[in-house]
Amino acid sequence: MCPSSTSIAFIGTGVMGRSMAGHLLRAGHALHVYNRTKEKAADLLAAGAQWHDSAGRAAAAADVVITVVGYPADVEATYLSDHGVVAQARPGSVLIDMTTSSPSLARRIAAAASARGSAALDAPVSGGDIGAKEARLVIMVGGDEAAFARVQPLFALMGKNIIRHGAAGAGQHCKLANQVAIASGMMAWVEALTYARAAGLDPARVLESIGGGAASSWAMVNLGPRALRGDFAPGFYVKHFLKDMRLALESAAELKLDLPGLAAAKKLYDRVAAQGWEDLGTQALYRLYTES
Protein backbone atom coordinates (compact mmCIF):
# COMPACT_ATOMS: atom_id res chain seq x y z
CA MET A 1 0.00 0.00 0.00
CA CYS A 2 1.88 3.04 -1.31
CA PRO A 3 1.73 6.13 0.95
CA SER A 4 1.80 8.47 -2.03
CA SER A 5 -1.34 6.93 -3.53
CA THR A 6 -3.32 5.82 -0.46
CA SER A 7 -5.29 8.47 1.38
CA ILE A 8 -6.61 7.83 4.88
CA ALA A 9 -9.51 9.30 6.82
CA PHE A 10 -8.89 9.19 10.56
CA ILE A 11 -11.92 9.80 12.77
CA GLY A 12 -11.31 10.23 16.49
CA THR A 13 -8.11 12.03 17.48
CA GLY A 14 -8.20 11.60 21.25
CA VAL A 15 -5.56 10.25 23.64
CA MET A 16 -4.65 7.30 21.43
CA GLY A 17 -6.04 8.32 18.05
CA ARG A 18 -3.86 11.37 17.60
CA SER A 19 -0.67 9.33 18.02
CA MET A 20 -1.91 6.59 15.71
CA ALA A 21 -2.89 9.12 13.06
CA GLY A 22 0.45 10.85 13.44
CA HIS A 23 2.34 7.69 12.51
CA LEU A 24 0.32 7.40 9.31
CA LEU A 25 0.88 11.04 8.43
CA ARG A 26 4.63 10.82 9.02
CA ALA A 27 4.77 7.76 6.76
CA GLY A 28 3.62 9.97 3.89
CA HIS A 29 -0.09 9.23 3.66
CA ALA A 30 -2.51 12.03 2.85
CA LEU A 31 -4.56 12.29 6.05
CA HIS A 32 -8.14 13.52 6.33
CA VAL A 33 -9.34 14.01 9.90
CA TYR A 34 -12.52 14.58 11.84
CA ASN A 35 -13.04 14.78 15.58
CA ARG A 36 -15.94 16.14 17.59
CA THR A 37 -13.52 18.61 19.22
CA LYS A 38 -11.41 20.19 16.48
CA GLU A 39 -8.78 21.40 18.94
CA LYS A 40 -7.74 17.79 19.60
CA ALA A 41 -6.67 17.51 15.96
CA ALA A 42 -4.64 20.74 16.03
CA ASP A 43 -1.21 19.06 15.97
CA LEU A 44 -2.20 16.87 13.05
CA LEU A 45 -3.60 19.81 11.11
CA ALA A 46 -0.41 21.78 11.73
CA ALA A 47 1.56 18.83 10.34
CA GLY A 48 -0.43 18.77 7.11
CA ALA A 49 -3.62 16.82 7.73
CA GLN A 50 -6.84 18.11 6.15
CA TRP A 51 -9.86 18.86 8.31
CA HIS A 52 -13.42 17.81 7.43
CA ASP A 53 -16.63 18.86 9.17
CA SER A 54 -18.07 15.35 9.50
CA ALA A 55 -17.00 11.73 9.59
CA GLY A 56 -18.86 11.07 6.34
CA ARG A 57 -17.10 13.85 4.47
CA ALA A 58 -13.71 12.64 5.68
CA ALA A 59 -14.59 9.11 4.55
CA ALA A 60 -15.62 10.33 1.09
CA ALA A 61 -12.12 11.75 0.58
CA ALA A 62 -10.17 8.61 1.42
CA ASP A 63 -9.25 5.11 0.30
CA VAL A 64 -9.11 3.79 3.87
CA VAL A 65 -11.16 4.96 6.84
CA ILE A 66 -9.99 4.41 10.44
CA THR A 67 -12.12 5.20 13.48
CA VAL A 68 -11.23 5.36 17.17
CA VAL A 69 -14.27 6.74 18.98
CA GLY A 70 -15.71 6.25 22.44
CA TYR A 71 -18.70 3.96 22.76
CA PRO A 72 -20.70 1.51 20.63
CA ALA A 73 -23.39 4.17 20.18
CA ASP A 74 -20.71 6.47 18.73
CA VAL A 75 -19.50 3.70 16.42
CA GLU A 76 -23.03 3.01 15.20
CA ALA A 77 -23.75 6.69 14.53
CA THR A 78 -20.39 7.20 12.82
CA TYR A 79 -20.84 4.25 10.45
CA LEU A 80 -24.54 3.65 9.99
CA SER A 81 -26.24 7.06 10.11
CA ASP A 82 -27.75 8.37 6.87
CA HIS A 83 -24.70 10.50 6.10
CA GLY A 84 -22.15 8.38 7.95
CA VAL A 85 -19.05 6.51 6.89
CA VAL A 86 -20.74 3.55 5.16
CA ALA A 87 -23.06 5.80 3.16
CA GLN A 88 -20.28 8.19 2.10
CA ALA A 89 -17.30 5.86 1.64
CA ARG A 90 -15.84 5.28 -1.79
CA PRO A 91 -16.61 1.91 -3.42
CA GLY A 92 -13.65 -0.39 -2.86
CA SER A 93 -12.54 1.38 0.30
CA VAL A 94 -11.61 -0.41 3.53
CA LEU A 95 -13.29 0.75 6.74
CA ILE A 96 -11.45 -0.07 9.95
CA ASP A 97 -13.03 0.44 13.35
CA MET A 98 -10.33 0.36 16.05
CA THR A 99 -12.72 1.22 18.89
CA THR A 100 -13.48 -1.46 21.47
CA SER A 101 -17.10 -2.13 20.64
CA SER A 102 -19.75 -4.82 20.26
CA PRO A 103 -19.05 -7.94 18.17
CA SER A 104 -22.63 -7.91 16.87
CA LEU A 105 -22.30 -4.26 15.81
CA ALA A 106 -19.07 -5.12 13.98
CA ARG A 107 -20.95 -7.76 12.03
CA ARG A 108 -23.72 -5.29 11.14
CA ILE A 109 -21.20 -2.73 9.91
CA ALA A 110 -19.39 -5.35 7.82
CA ALA A 111 -22.66 -6.41 6.18
CA ALA A 112 -23.68 -2.81 5.47
CA ALA A 113 -20.26 -1.99 4.02
CA SER A 114 -20.26 -5.07 1.81
CA ALA A 115 -23.68 -4.15 0.44
CA ARG A 116 -22.24 -0.82 -0.73
CA GLY A 117 -19.04 -2.22 -2.23
CA SER A 118 -16.67 -1.60 0.68
CA ALA A 119 -15.03 -3.92 3.21
CA ALA A 120 -15.10 -3.38 6.97
CA LEU A 121 -12.70 -4.68 9.60
CA ASP A 122 -13.04 -4.55 13.38
CA ALA A 123 -9.54 -4.00 14.75
CA PRO A 124 -9.55 -2.93 18.41
CA VAL A 125 -6.20 -2.31 20.06
CA SER A 126 -4.42 -2.75 23.37
CA GLY A 127 -1.40 -0.90 24.69
CA GLY A 128 -2.80 2.40 25.91
CA ASP A 129 -1.27 5.80 25.31
CA ILE A 130 2.29 4.45 25.52
CA GLY A 131 1.68 1.77 22.91
CA ALA A 132 0.01 4.31 20.64
CA LYS A 133 2.89 6.80 20.96
CA GLU A 134 5.54 4.15 20.39
CA ALA A 135 3.67 2.41 17.53
CA ARG A 136 3.67 -0.93 19.30
CA LEU A 137 -0.02 -1.54 19.82
CA VAL A 138 -1.52 -5.00 19.87
CA ILE A 139 -4.09 -5.04 17.04
CA MET A 140 -6.80 -7.71 17.07
CA VAL A 141 -8.64 -8.00 13.76
CA GLY A 142 -11.86 -9.51 12.49
CA GLY A 143 -13.21 -9.37 8.95
CA ASP A 144 -12.43 -10.18 5.36
CA GLU A 145 -9.02 -11.78 4.86
CA ALA A 146 -8.25 -9.97 1.60
CA ALA A 147 -9.09 -6.60 3.14
CA PHE A 148 -6.87 -7.43 6.10
CA ALA A 149 -3.95 -8.26 3.79
CA ARG A 150 -4.49 -5.03 1.90
CA VAL A 151 -4.21 -2.78 4.96
CA GLN A 152 -1.57 -4.79 6.81
CA PRO A 153 1.09 -2.13 5.99
CA LEU A 154 -1.04 0.48 7.75
CA PHE A 155 -1.45 -1.69 10.83
CA ALA A 156 2.33 -2.15 10.86
CA LEU A 157 2.77 1.61 11.20
CA MET A 158 0.73 1.60 14.40
CA GLY A 159 1.42 -1.74 16.05
CA LYS A 160 3.72 -4.74 16.40
CA ASN A 161 1.46 -7.66 17.34
CA ILE A 162 -1.15 -7.86 14.57
CA ILE A 163 -3.36 -10.94 14.26
CA ARG A 164 -6.56 -11.62 12.33
CA HIS A 165 -8.81 -13.87 14.41
CA GLY A 166 -11.57 -14.65 11.94
CA ALA A 167 -14.68 -13.15 10.40
CA ALA A 168 -16.33 -9.86 11.36
CA GLY A 169 -16.69 -9.53 15.12
CA ALA A 170 -13.74 -11.79 15.93
CA GLY A 171 -11.44 -8.85 16.64
CA GLN A 172 -13.93 -7.48 19.15
CA HIS A 173 -14.26 -10.87 20.86
CA CYS A 174 -10.46 -11.05 21.20
CA LYS A 175 -10.33 -7.54 22.67
CA LEU A 176 -13.04 -8.40 25.19
CA ALA A 177 -10.99 -11.44 26.23
CA ASN A 178 -8.06 -9.04 26.68
CA GLN A 179 -10.17 -6.79 28.91
CA VAL A 180 -11.34 -9.77 30.98
CA ALA A 181 -7.67 -10.53 31.71
CA ILE A 182 -6.84 -6.91 32.49
CA ALA A 183 -9.81 -6.51 34.84
CA SER A 184 -8.57 -9.15 37.30
CA GLY A 185 -4.97 -8.07 36.71
CA MET A 186 -5.71 -4.51 37.82
CA MET A 187 -7.18 -5.79 41.07
CA ALA A 188 -4.13 -8.01 41.60
CA TRP A 189 -1.41 -5.38 41.55
CA VAL A 190 -3.49 -2.75 43.36
CA GLU A 191 -4.25 -5.16 46.20
CA ALA A 192 -0.61 -6.31 46.33
CA LEU A 193 0.67 -2.75 46.76
CA THR A 194 -2.10 -1.91 49.22
CA TYR A 195 -1.09 -4.94 51.29
CA ALA A 196 2.59 -3.95 51.15
CA ARG A 197 1.79 -0.44 52.33
CA ALA A 198 -0.34 -1.71 55.23
CA ALA A 199 2.48 -4.07 56.26
CA GLY A 200 4.85 -1.11 56.63
CA LEU A 201 6.83 -1.75 53.46
CA ASP A 202 7.77 0.81 50.82
CA PRO A 203 5.37 0.03 47.96
CA ALA A 204 7.83 1.36 45.38
CA ARG A 205 10.53 -1.07 46.54
CA VAL A 206 8.01 -3.90 46.65
CA LEU A 207 7.07 -3.04 43.07
CA GLU A 208 10.75 -3.32 42.11
CA SER A 209 10.81 -6.84 43.55
CA ILE A 210 7.54 -8.32 42.38
CA GLY A 211 7.54 -6.42 39.09
CA GLY A 212 10.44 -8.58 37.95
CA GLY A 213 9.01 -11.93 39.00
CA ALA A 214 6.13 -14.26 38.34
CA ALA A 215 3.57 -11.74 39.61
CA SER A 216 4.54 -9.15 37.02
CA SER A 217 2.20 -7.79 34.36
CA TRP A 218 2.19 -4.93 31.88
CA ALA A 219 -0.26 -3.03 34.07
CA MET A 220 1.82 -3.52 37.21
CA VAL A 221 5.05 -2.37 35.57
CA ASN A 222 3.58 0.57 33.65
CA LEU A 223 0.68 1.76 35.79
CA GLY A 224 1.95 0.86 39.25
CA PRO A 225 4.69 3.54 39.29
CA ARG A 226 2.20 6.14 38.04
CA ALA A 227 -0.23 5.28 40.83
CA LEU A 228 2.49 5.46 43.49
CA ARG A 229 3.48 8.92 42.24
CA GLY A 230 -0.14 10.07 42.46
CA ASP A 231 -0.24 10.37 38.67
CA PHE A 232 -3.75 9.39 37.62
CA ALA A 233 -3.74 11.06 34.20
CA PRO A 234 -5.46 8.87 31.64
CA GLY A 235 -3.57 6.56 29.36
CA PHE A 236 -6.89 4.74 29.24
CA TYR A 237 -9.97 6.29 30.83
CA VAL A 238 -11.89 4.65 33.68
CA LYS A 239 -15.12 5.43 31.80
CA HIS A 240 -13.91 3.54 28.74
CA PHE A 241 -12.74 0.58 30.81
CA LEU A 242 -16.18 0.43 32.42
CA LYS A 243 -17.70 0.39 28.93
CA ASP A 244 -15.43 -2.50 27.96
CA MET A 245 -16.30 -4.49 31.07
CA ARG A 246 -20.01 -3.97 30.44
CA LEU A 247 -19.57 -5.26 26.89
CA ALA A 248 -17.61 -8.26 28.14
CA LEU A 249 -20.21 -9.10 30.79
CA GLU A 250 -23.00 -8.84 28.20
CA SER A 251 -21.11 -11.08 25.79
CA ALA A 252 -20.30 -13.56 28.57
CA ALA A 253 -24.00 -13.74 29.44
CA GLU A 254 -24.81 -14.50 25.79
CA LEU A 255 -22.22 -17.29 25.93
CA LYS A 256 -23.69 -18.53 29.24
CA LEU A 257 -20.43 -17.88 31.11
CA ASP A 258 -19.97 -16.87 34.75
CA LEU A 259 -16.85 -14.67 35.10
CA PRO A 260 -16.64 -13.70 38.81
CA GLY A 261 -13.28 -11.92 38.50
CA LEU A 262 -14.65 -9.64 35.80
CA ALA A 263 -17.81 -9.00 37.82
CA ALA A 264 -15.77 -8.07 40.92
CA ALA A 265 -13.58 -5.66 38.95
CA LYS A 266 -16.63 -4.01 37.42
CA LYS A 267 -18.09 -3.37 40.89
CA LEU A 268 -14.83 -1.79 42.06
CA TYR A 269 -14.61 0.46 39.02
CA ASP A 270 -18.24 1.47 39.54
CA ARG A 271 -17.06 2.77 42.92
CA VAL A 272 -14.16 4.59 41.25
CA ALA A 273 -16.62 6.30 38.89
CA ALA A 274 -18.93 7.14 41.81
CA GLN A 275 -16.02 9.09 43.34
CA GLY A 276 -16.08 11.33 40.25
CA TRP A 277 -12.91 9.78 38.81
CA GLU A 278 -14.26 8.35 35.54
CA ASP A 279 -12.07 10.71 33.49
CA LEU A 280 -8.92 9.52 35.25
CA GLY A 281 -6.73 6.65 34.12
CA THR A 282 -7.49 3.08 35.15
CA GLN A 283 -4.71 3.23 37.76
CA ALA A 284 -7.14 5.36 39.81
CA LEU A 285 -8.27 2.03 41.30
CA TYR A 286 -5.24 2.36 43.60
CA ARG A 287 -6.59 5.68 44.78
CA LEU A 288 -9.85 3.99 45.73
CA TYR A 289 -7.97 1.58 48.00
CA THR A 290 -5.78 4.25 49.61
CA GLU A 291 -8.14 7.23 49.92
CA SER A 292 -11.57 5.75 50.62
Rounded Cα–Cα distance for residues 124 and 35 (Å) = 18
Q: What are phi and psi of 10, to 5 degrees?
A: -120, 120
Which residues have a catalytic role annotated?
A: 175
